[in-house]
Structure 1
Amino acid sequence: MSSSHQPQPPSPSEGRAHREESVDSRSLISPPTQPPTPELRLDGISWSVLAHGSVRPVLTDVSFRVGAGARVALLGENGRGKSTLLRIAAGELVPDAGDVARPETGYLPQEVASLPWGTVADVHDAALAPARAAIKAMESAALALADGPGPGVDRSYDQALARAEAIGAWDAPQALARALGGLRLESLDDDRALSTLSGGQLRRLALAALLVQRPAGLLLDEPTNHLDDAACQFLAAELGTWSGPVLLASHDREFIDEVATAVVDLDGAPIGRGGRRIPDELLAGRAAGGGATWFGGRLPEYLAAKQAAREAWQARFEAEQDELSRLRKAGSTTARNVAHGREARDNDKFVTKYRGARAEGEVSKRVRDTENRIETLERDQVPRPPGELRFALPAALPVGTRSRGTGQGTLARARDVYLPGAAGPRLDMAASGVREVAIAPGDRLLITGPNGCGKSSLLGVLAGDLVPETLGGHGDAGRRPGARIGLLEQETGLGEQAKSARELIALASPDGDPDSHGLIEPRDLDRPARELSVGQQRRVLLAMLLAQRLDALLLDEPTNHLSIPLVADLLAAFEDWPGSLVIASHDRWLRRTWTGRVVDLTRVRGQGGL
C-alpha cells in the first residue's frame, strides 16, 4: 500500500537517541499497539543511518499490510533493511518516520547470542506461562460467574475464554512437546544450562517458545537458519495454520515458496536515481512506498516477473537515451540544414527575401518542436536502472594450483575423527558411516546431514581450526604443507569491529588490494563493519578469504545470511574456479541444484554441536 506520507530524514546531529528498544526480551513477545488490530500495518516507515557525516536512507516510506492468516516474505539484498524493518514492526526500534499497528506479536531475531533464563526448564516454563495465566484467568472468571451473572462478569468470562482458546491454553503442554520434537530439541535435559548450548540450539529453543506461546502475529528473521529438513517441514506446517499475520525475512527459496502467500521486495526500487518514480508498468508488482514492491504470488513467479521488469526497464531507458541523443543532434544541426532547390539570382531579390523568411520560419518551428520534445522526454524519462552487485572471483589462480583438477596430493583430509561435546559427540565420523573425507585440488564437495551431525565440526577439522587431540577426541586429520585453506564460518565475529570493510579486505590481501569482488556496495566499503548487517558482514569475511588466493574455500551454511542472487552468482562463478570448494549446508535448493560430490553425515543424532 502506497502512502502519501513524505518522511524527512533526521539531521546527523540527532544521532541515535530517537531509537529506543521497547520489546520485552524476556518473553520475546511485543505487546499490541492501541487500538487493537488483527493485522500488521506498516505505514510510511523510513529509516536512515549516519555514514561519514551524512544521512543514508535504508528504508523509504515503506507501506504495506499483512492481514490475519497472511504470510508475507521480505526479500532484498544484504543491507537493504529487512532485519531493521522487522525490529521496527516489533517495536524494538522507533523509525525516523511512519507508524506501526500490530496485534500481540512474537519476534525471533536473526541471531540469538543468549536468552535471559538459566536453564532449558526455565525456557519451557516461560513458554507455558501465557497458557497457565489464561487458564487461571478463566478459572477466576468462572468462579465469579458462579457467584452471580452480570454484564461485567459475563464480559470478563467471555474475554478470558476467548483468550484461552486463541492461544490453545489447554493443549500447551502437548504443543511444547510437539515443538521440541519438531525442532530437534527433545533430547535437551531440562536442567542443562543455556550457556552450554550453541547459537543454533538457543535460536531453535527461542522459536519453540514463540510457537507454544501462540501470539497473534509473528515476525521471523531468517527462521530456517540452523533447521534441517524435518525442522523446516515442521515449521512450515505450523505457519500454515497460523491465524494471525506472519512477516518473515528469509533467503531460503524452498521455504519461501512453500510458506509465503505474498512477497515484499526491498530491492523493488519504485523510486529510481534522482528521486524519480518508476512507471507502474515497469514494476514486477505494485509499489509499497518509495522503497519496496508488493507481489501477491509465489516466489518463482515473482523472480521471473522481476527479471522481465528489469529487462523492460533497461530497454526503455536505452531507447529513451537514444531518442534524446537523436533529438539533441537534430536540434543543433538537422533542423537548421534547410536545403533550397536552387540559389537565388542577383536580380531575384524578392524571391530571395521571400524564401529566406519562409526558411527561417520553418527552422524556428522545427527547433521549437524539437526543444519541446526534448523537454518533455527529459522530464518524463525513466531513471537509469540501479547497478546490481555481481560476484566475481579473483583473476589470479589459487596458490599451488595450475588448473582445475591438477596439483600434487590431497589438500586436506579427516579420517575416523571423533570430537566430544557437552551432551554427545560434536562429530563422530565412524557413527555416520563416512569414515574418511579428503579434499583434492579442484574438488567440489557438499556436506549434508541433520542438525547436530557434525557438519560445522568437520569443516573446522578440514580447515585445521579443530584438532581432535587437543579437544579430547581422536582421529587422523591433516593438511598438505603450504596449502592455503579458508573457512567462512556461520557466525560473523564482526559485531564490534570498528575497521571498515575496505580496511579489513586490504589487511587480508597479500598486496594490500581492497578488492571486494562485487560483494560490497561502494557506499558501504568505508563504513565500520559493526554497522553492517549480518549478511553484509559475511560478505566482508568472504571477500577477505578471496583476497588470500586460496587453494580451497570451505563455506559453512552460506545460504543462511547471503542473499538469493549472491548464492546463485557464487555457485555459478565457482564452476570455473580452479580451487577446491567445500560447502556444508542443509539448504534444500542448494542440495537440489548441486552437481559435485556429496557426503551425508546422517547418523543417530547427538546434541553436541551445531
Structure 2
Amino acid sequence: MILNATNISKSFGSNEIIKSATFLINEHEKAAIVGVNGAGKTTLLKILTGEEQADGGSVTLAKDAKLGYLRQINNVDSTLSIIDELYTVIEPILDMEKRILKMQNEMRHLTGEKLEKLYSSYTALTHNYELMDGYAAKSKVVGILKGLGFEEADFDRKINTLSGGQKTRVFLAKLLLEEPDIILLDEPTNHLDLRSIEWLESYLLNYNGAVVIVSHDRYFLDKIVSKVIDIENGNVQMYLGNYTDFSNKKQMLLDAKMKEYLNQQQEIRHQEAVITKLKQFNREKSIKRAESRQKQLEKIERVDAPQTYTENMRLSLDIAKESGKDVLSVHNLSKSFDRKKLFYDINFEIKRGERVAIIGDNGTGKTTLLKIINGILEPDTGEVIYGSNVSVAYYDQEHQVLHMDKTLFDEISDTYPEMTNTRIRNILAAFLFTGEDVYKKISDLSGGERGRVSLVKLMLSKANFLLLDEPTNHLDIVSKDVLENALNSFPGTVCYVSHDRYFINKTATRILDLTENRLLNYIGNYDYYIEKREAVEEAANLSNIEQAQKGIDVSESKQEWMDNKTAQAQKKKIKNTLNKCEKEISEIESELQTVDEEFANPKNSSNVGKLMELQKQKEALEERLDKLMADWEELTLQMEE
C-alpha cells in the first residue's frame, strides 16, 4: 500500500459530492478516477494531495513516499528556458558533473600524496554519479521532452512565453523526470498529439511508481490502468480491470440491481392487489388475512431503485435533404504560414455516408485544412469543390461560431427565429440546460458547456455534411458516448479532426493522417490505422523516392492495390502447389495399400525375390510420403499466414 483513503467526504454547501469514499492504491499500481463532469474527480485528487481539506475521513501516504501532482492548468511563470527548467530536477547530478570535471583538471597538476588523496575522492564521487545514473541524465531530459512533443528548437524558449498547454507539458515532463513514488495526473493527455499520447502510455506502463489518472480518454485508460475508482452521485466504488472491464461490470451490476428492484416492485404490487381484494370481501377472516399480509409487506426490506446518472445529453442528428454521391473533392491544396509549409499538393475525395477522421501531430495543419474546406481560410494553391446538394455545418473547437455576449436562449432564438420559446427550452433541456441556465451568457459558460451549445446548433442545422474540429474536447465520457451514437446513426457525411483515439475507433470509416506535409489514407478505424501505419508509411516513403528518381506518382492506394494483387497471386500459387501435393499423397497412399495387399497374397509368401522387391518398393513409397507430408505442413502454414 502506498496510499490509503478512508471514509473521505466532501460537500459544497448542500451538495455532497463525495460520500464516505474508501479505497487504496498499491505500490506500482495504475488506477483511474472516472465520473461525469462535476462529479468531483479533481476535488478528490486535491484531497489526496492535501491541497484541499476533506470534511471527514483521512488520507494516509506510505512513510517516506514522494507524491507528484499534475493539475489541469499549470500556469508556471518562469523566466528559465524549457531545458533549464528541467535541469533544475537533475541539479545535484549537474553539480557532481562540474565537480568531477574540476577534479580531473586538478589531478593533471598534482603528484604524490595529494594526487592519491584527490583520486580517492574522485573515485567515490564518480561511483555516486554512476549510481544516480548521471551519464544518462541529460539524455533522459531530452527523451522526455521529445516524447511529449517538443522539438530541439523549442528547448531554449522561455517558460513565460509558452501557451497554457505547453506549460502543462513542461510541468508533466518535470514530474516524470522527478520520478515520485506516486503520480496523480489530472487530464494528462490534454494538449498532447497522438504520438505523444502513445509515448506517454508506454512511459507510464513501464513506470516503476504508482499512477492515479483522471481522464476522459478511454483508449488511454484501457491501455494503462488495472483499477478504476468510479464517482457517481457522490458514491465512490472501486472496480478491478481497465476501463472497458469497469464499464462492462458496472452495467452488469446496474442491470442486476434494476432486475432485483423491478421484481420486488412487481411482488409488492401483487401483494397490494391481494390485500385490496381481501378487504373488499368484507368478511372477518378475509380482513384478518389482509391485515396479516399487510404486516408482512411492511416488514419487507425495500430495494432502492438503482441510482445512475440519468441526465444524459440527448443528441439526434438528421438532414433536411440528401447530398449527391460526391460530397467533397480537394485538388492540389497547399498552405504555408510565415514560411512554414504545413502541407502541399494535397488531393482527396469524400463520398456520401463516409465518416473521415483527420489526424496528425500538433502543428501539422489539421485545423487549418478544416478551415480551408469550410471556406474560412484561403489556400495558397489548389481548390475545394463541393458536390451537388451539399449543406455544411461547422463545429469549431474554439467555439468562434458562438456569440459571447448573447445568452444561450438568444443564441438559439436569433439563429432559428421560427422556433417557439417552448421548443427552444425543450431542446436546451435535452443538452442539460434547464431553468435559469438558459439565460446564462455564453462568455460565462465552461468549455464543456460551450461545446454542448455548439452541438445544439449543429443538430438544428440539419446539414448533410458536418465539419467538426475536436468535438469531444471538454465532453465527459457519457456525453462522448452520446455523440458517438449520434454520428454513427447520422444519415449524412462527416469529416472531423480529433486526437480522441477511442472516439476515432468507434466512429471513423476512414482516416487521413496529415504527416510530413502530406496525407496518408487508411480505409478503416483507429485499430486498422495502428495495424497498417508502418507499412503505409514505408510505402509512401518508397513512393517519394520513386517519384524523385523517375518522376512518377505512385499513390498509397495504388501501392496498396499492388500489394494486394501480389499477395493474391502468391496465395493462388501456394494453393495450386498444395492441391498437387494432396493429390500425390493420395496416389502414394493407394500405391502403399496395393503393396500391402501383395505382401498378404499367399502366392507371394514363398517367393523371396518378390517379397524383397515389394519391401524395397514400400520403403521408397514411405520415404516419398514422408517428404510430401512435410511439404504439406509447410504449405498449409504458408496459407494460414
User: TM-score, with normalisation over the residues of structure 2?
Assistant: 0.64
What letter is aligned with 1:563? D
What letter is aligned with 2:334? V
Say if 2:9 is the partner of 1:65: no
Aligned residues of 1:552 and 1:580 also touching (Cα < 8 A): yes
SS at match of 1:292: strand
Which is richer in helix? 2
1:132-147 → structure 2 map (5 Å cutoff): 132-133=91-92
Over 3 Å counting, the alpha-carbon distance change for 1:599 and 1:220 in structure 2 is: same
Q: Following the alignment from structure 1 to structure 2, what is the Cα–Cα distance between the partners of residues 130 and 497?
A: 42
Aligned residues of 2:278 and 2:286 also touching (Cα < 8 A): no
Match of 1:371 among 265, 280, 294: 294
How far has the Cα of 1:488 moved from its partner? 3.4
Over 3 Å counting, the alpha-carbon distance change for 1:402 and 1:71 in structure 2 is: same
Q: Following the alignment from structure 2 to structure 1, what is the Cα–Cα distance between the partners of residues 276 and 130?
A: 77
Q: Percent identity?
A: 28
1:349-403 residue CA offsets vs partner (Å, 9 max, x unmatched)? xxxxxxxxxx51x3343223222233233x52222543534554447x44xx413
Match of 2:78 among 117, 126, 150: 117
1:471-527 residue CA offsets vs partner (Å, 9 max, x unmatched)? xx5554577999764443445689997987666555655426141474427589569
Aligned residues of 1:46 and 1:59 also touching (Cα < 8 A): yes
Q: Following the alignment from structure 1 to structure 2, what is the Cα–Cα distance between the partners of residues 498 and 213?
A: 44
| 1:428 alignment counterpart | 343
| 2:335 alignment counterpart | 418
Over 3 Å counting, the alpha-carbon distance change for 1:486 and 1:569 in structure 2 is: same
Over 3 Å counting, the alpha-carbon distance change for 1:581 and 1:200 in structure 2 is: farther
| 1:106 alignment counterpart | 68
Aligned residues of 1:257 and 1:299 also touching (Cα < 8 A): yes
Say if 2:205 is the partner of 1:240: yes
What letter is aligned with 2:277? T
- Paired residues in the alignment total 483
Q: Following the alignment from structure 2 to structure 1, what is the Cα–Cα distance between the partners of residues 402 and 5?
A: 28
| 1:460 alignment counterpart | 371
Q: Following the alignment from structure 2 to structure 1, what is the Cα–Cα distance between the partners of residues 28 and 471?
A: 31
| 2:216 alignment counterpart | 251
Please, which runs of 5 or more residues in structure 1 have no aligned partner?
A: 1-37, 141-159, 270-289, 339-358, 606-610
1:510-557 residue CA offsets vs partner (Å, 9 max, x unmatched)? 426141474427589569578876445433432343244444333333
Q: Following the alignment from structure 1 to structure 2, what is the Cα–Cα distance between the partners of residues 388 and 587?
A: 24
Say if 2:294 is the partner of 1:382: no
What letter is aligned with 2:485? A
1:136-173 residue CA offsets vs partner (Å, 9 max, x unmatched)? 69999xxxxxxxxxxxxxxxxxxx99x99998676432
SS at match of 1:115: coil
Q: Which has the higher contact order (CA 8 A, sep 6+)?
A: 1
Q: Following the alignment from structure 2 to structure 1, what is the Cα–Cα distance between the partners of residues 511 and 278?
A: 66
Match of 1:541 among 441, 451, 454: 454
Q: Following the alignment from structure 2 to structure 1, what is the Cα–Cα distance between the partners of residues 270 and 343?
A: 70
Over 3 Å counting, the alpha-carbon distance change for 1:264 and 1:168 in structure 2 is: farther
SS at match of 2:515: coil
How far has the Cα of 1:321 moved from its partner? 1.6
Q: Following the alignment from structure 1 to structure 2, what is the Cα–Cα distance between the partners of residues 49 and 415?
A: 56
Q: Following the alignment from structure 2 to structure 1, what is the Cα–Cα distance between the partners of residues 186 and 403?
A: 21
Match of 1:586 among 477, 482, 499: 499
How far has the Cα of 1:438 moved from its partner? 5.2
Q: Following the alignment from structure 2 to structure 1, what is the Cα–Cα distance between the partners of residues 81 and 388?
A: 49
Over 3 Å counting, the alpha-carbon distance change for 1:589 and 1:387 in structure 2 is: closer
Aligned residues of 1:43 and 1:61 also touching (Cα < 8 A): yes
Aligned residues of 2:328 and 2:351 also touching (Cα < 8 A): yes
| 1:4 alignment counterpart | none
Find the structure with the greater CA-based Rg. Answer: 2
| 2:555 alignment counterpart | none
How far has the Cα of 1:97 moved from its partner? 4.3
Aligned residues of 1:200 and 1:226 also touching (Cα < 8 A): yes
Q: Following the alignment from structure 1 to structure 2, what is the Cα–Cα distance between the partners of residues 185 and 535?
A: 27
1:186-225 → structure 2 map (5 Å cutoff): 186-194=151-159, 197=162, 200-225=165-190
Q: Following the alignment from structure 1 to structure 2, what is the Cα–Cα distance between the partners of residues 198 and 533?
A: 19
What letter is aligned with 1:105? L
| 2:479 alignment counterpart | 566
SS at match of 1:416: strand
| 2:237 alignment counterpart | 293
What letter is aligned with 1:446? A
SS at match of 2:185: strand
What letter is aligned with 1:428? F
How far has the Cα of 1:294 moved from its partner? 0.2
| 2:510 alignment counterpart | 597
Q: Following the alignment from structure 2 to structure 1, what is the Cα–Cα distance between the partners of residues 238 and 445?
A: 25
Aligned residues of 1:415 and 1:437 also touching (Cα < 8 A): no
Q: Following the alignment from structure 2 to structure 1, what is the Cα–Cα distance between the partners of residues 132 and 438?
A: 47
Say if 2:321 is the partner of 1:402: yes
SS at match of 2:90: helix
Q: Following the alignment from structure 2 to structure 1, what is the Cα–Cα distance between the partners of residues 401 and 3?
A: 33
SS at match of 2:22: strand
User: TM-score, with normalisation over the residues of structure 1?
Assistant: 0.67
Aligned residues of 1:265 and 1:294 also touching (Cα < 8 A): yes
Over 3 Å counting, the alpha-carbon distance change for 1:74 and 1:464 in structure 2 is: farther
Q: Following the alignment from structure 1 to structure 2, what is the Cα–Cα distance between the partners of residues 41 and 124?
A: 36
**RMSD of the alignment, in Å?**
4.2
| 2:546 alignment counterpart | none
Q: Following the alignment from structure 1 to structure 2, what is the Cα–Cα distance between the partners of residues 409 and 367?
A: 72
